[in-house]
Each structure stands twice: as C-alpha cells, then as structure tokens.
C-alpha cells in the first residue's frame, strides 16, 4: 500500500508498505478522508511535543471498515470513524474514566503511525459508527471533539462570557460548542481573515484583533466591567497563553487546549487574588465524540463550514507546506483517498 511519511521536519516521502494484517483485538479500515490539523502542521515544522521521526501523520480520519476483529455490532463495508487515542485501560487515568490522558497513551499519527496510508489497523474498541454521516463529516468529528471536551472541562453555564483565544480549527470547534452551551462568546486572534470567518460563518458578535485592539478595555466593555469568567486558549502559542491569564474574571476558569513546549509564566498574586482555576484539556472521550455527532445530526454544527481546501492524497506532498502560509486562509484541508 502507498503511504506518506514525514521522514524529518519539512520533508515528506511517498513510500510503499505492507498492508496491515488482521490481529486479535484490532480491525482494519480503508482510509477515505484525512483532515489536516495543527498537530500535523507542527510535526512538519518540528515543533510538536511527544513526537519522533519518521512518522506517518494523520489522526482526523474516516473510512470504510473492511476487516473486523472483536467488534460486535459492526459490519464490513460500513462507514466509520474512530477515537485515535489508544489507551491501556488499566492505569489510574483510565480507571478514573479519563482514557484521553492515559499514562501509556498512544496517539495515532503521533506516537504511532497514522492515517496517511491506504489502510490502517486500529483497536476495535476505538471504532465509532458513522450514523449516516458523510466521510467528510466523520473526519471532522475528532477535531470538533477536542473543542467540545475543552468546553465540557470548563463547565460553562448559560449566559457566561467566554473568551476563546485562537480561531484556528480547534478554536472554531471550541467556539461552536461554547455557543451550544449558551455562552456569550468573544474571539481573540491575530489573523483578521479568521476573525471575519467567525463573524460571517459562526455568527460571533464580538471579535478582537491582537494587533488592533486594547484587549483589556474591549473585554471590560463587552462584559460590563467583569471580564470573561471562562478563558480558553486554542493557540498553543506561549505568548498568547501567558497573556491569557490577565483576561480572566475574579473566580474564573482558564482552560488550556493549546499545547506548546515552553514554560508558562504568570503573576501568582494576580492569579491567587482571583481564586482562579487553571486546567488543561487533552484529547477527547467517547462522550465528546457522541456529542459532536449528535450536534451535527441536529444541524447545530455545519461541518462543511470548516473545509476550505480539498486535495487528493497524491498531491499532499506538494501542497502541504502551502497550508502553513496564513495568506492561503486555510481553515481545514481535507485529503481524499481513492
């Protein structure tokens, strides 16, 4: 089978590999769609934590189930997606119902080879039925679930002011699910095109540019002097994360979905006097996947909104680097496998 391997930062190669054989506990998928996310872009740049080369990227996936092992209720030929965070089921996190941060987690496309391949073997207990959704829609469930999980971590209440920092694909999903919970959402980003996208496609009323706004004063005005009770970072940018602490209301919560390699720094007295809560949000759970799919089927989320670029698998090597350029206005690039 044909695969696309990131052999080192900034370099891809199409290579032939053996088609996976069915083993106990796993099932085999014929990959049909691969969504490109920040993890893939950062891996290509060489800035992704928890990463080793060479690696086949890709974890936003959908496909056709062609061989089944230990998967009651599934049938060959059906459309599926799957949860790409393979957990051990035995560690303290798994026992607490948090397989998304398993001690021994193996994320598809990060710790083990991912979906930039014609076929992929995955644990059968990770499979998720397609529920009538298209391959494009199913490949978008995982990135949207990341945002849904962050929103669930935040425990957002209806009417709360929520600031989402970062209007990339993960941020957009976060915005959507904060809105579904009834939040009053403000979006902060450096990219005016993405802010325009939020206003026009997601009906976000309040957007702020890092370059053109007095952010603190704008937030005070939007929140009637209170500041947001929930701040969610979806940038993975160290400066943005550090700045986010100052935008949180007294008694507020700060959720880090974004990930970077550096050291977070903030004023302990300022954070302490607010009795602030700092939490991280890693990956997602089956509950989040089901919530996303339910929201899609209810038309609360329109997946087609996010896909701005389609590309065939054979063209990914040539096109990939262009998706790093902000001028190309990529929200979500979707790879089609044939």
Residue 182: CB atoms within 10 Å: 12
Res. 262: pLDDT tops 90: no
Alpha carbon 267 to its chain centroid, in Å, reads 29
Residue 38 sits at φ, ψ, to 5 deg, of -60, -35
Angle between helices 169-180 and 286-297 (to 10 degrees): 70
pLDDT for the residue numbered 99 = 97
Q: Quote the CA–CA distance of 26 and 65 in Å, as a whole number.
A: 11
Angle between helices 135-154 and 286-297 (to 10 degrees): 120
Residue-wise pLDDT for 131-186, tens only, equals 999 999 999 999 999 999 999 999 999 999 999 999 998 999 999 999 999 999 99
pLDDT for the residue numbered 338 = 81
Hunting for tokens 């990914």 — which residue is that?
Answer: 316
What is the average per-residue pLDDT within 293-301? Answer: 96
Q: Quote the CA–CA distance of 171 and 176 in Å, as a whole number.
A: 9
Domains of the chain as residue ranges with CATH = 2-130+306-336 (3.90.180.10), 148-280 (3.40.50.720)
Query: What pTM was computed for the model?
Result: 0.94
Res. 94: pLDDT tops 80: yes
Alpha carbon 156 to its chain centroid, in Å, reads 19
Contact call for residues 85 and 100 (beta carbons, < 8 A): yes
Question: In this structure, what token pair is assigned to residue 92?
Answer: 């303290």
What is the average per-residue pLDDT within 265-284? Answer: 97
Tell me the sheet residues that pair with 223: none
Res. 27: pLDDT tops 90: yes
Of 237, 197, 222, the closest CA to residue 332 belongs to 197
Q: Quote the CA–CA distance of 239 and 265 in Å, as a whole number.
A: 9
Q: Vertex 181, ends 180 and 187: CA angle to 5°?
A: 75
pLDDT for the residue numbered 42 = 85
pLDDT for the residue numbered 60 = 97
Q: Quote the CA–CA distance of 141 and 101 in Å, as a whole number.
A: 19
Res. 49: pLDDT tops 80: no
Res. 67: pLDDT tops 80: yes
Average pLDDT, the chain: 95
pLDDT for the residue numbered 47 = 79
Q: Quote the CA–CA distance of 192 and 212 in Å, as a whole number.
A: 10
């Amino acid at each position: 089978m044909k695969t696309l391997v990131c052999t080192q930062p900034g370099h891809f190669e199409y290579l032939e590999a053996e088609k996976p054989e069915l083993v106990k506990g796993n099932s085999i998928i014929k990959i049909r769609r691969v969504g490109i996310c920040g993890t893939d872009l950062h891996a290509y740049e060489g800035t992704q934590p928890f990463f080793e080369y060479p690696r086949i990227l890709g974890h936003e996936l959908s496909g056709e189930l062609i061989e089944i092992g230990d998967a009651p209720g599934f049938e060959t030929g059906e459309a599926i997606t799957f949860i790409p965070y393979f957990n051990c089921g035995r560690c303290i996190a798994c026992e607490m119902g948090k397989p998304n941060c398993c001690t021994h987690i193996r994320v598809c496309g990060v710790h083990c080879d991912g979906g930039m391949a014609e076929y992929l073997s995955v644990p059968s207990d990770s499979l998720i039925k397609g529920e009538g959704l298209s391959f494009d829609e199913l490949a978008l469930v995982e990135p949207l679930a990341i945002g849904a999980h962050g929103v669930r971590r935040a425990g957002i209440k209806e009417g709360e002011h929520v600031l989402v920092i970062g209007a990339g694909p993960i941020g957009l999903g976060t915005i959507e699910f904060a809105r579904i919970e009834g939040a009053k959402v403000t979006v902060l980003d450096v990219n005016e095109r993405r802010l325009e996208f939020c206003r026009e496609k997601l009906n976000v009323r309040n957007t702020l540019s890092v370059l053109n706004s007095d952010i603190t004063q704008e937030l005070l005005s939007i929140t009637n002097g209170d500041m947001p009770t929930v701040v969610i970072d979806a940038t993975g940018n160290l400066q943005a994360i550090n700045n986010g602490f100052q935008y949180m209301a007294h008694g507020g919560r700060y959720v880090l979905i974004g990930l970077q390699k550096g050291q977070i720094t903030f004023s302990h007295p300022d954070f302490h006097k607010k009795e602030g809560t700092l939490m991280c949000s890693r990956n997602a759970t089956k509950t989040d996947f089901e919530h996303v799919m339910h929201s899609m089927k209810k038309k609360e989320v329109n997946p087609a909104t996010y896909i701005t670029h389609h590309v065939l698998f054979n063209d990914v090597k040539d096109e990939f680097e262009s998706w790093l350029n902000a001028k190309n206005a990529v929200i979500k690039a979707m790879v089609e496998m044939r």
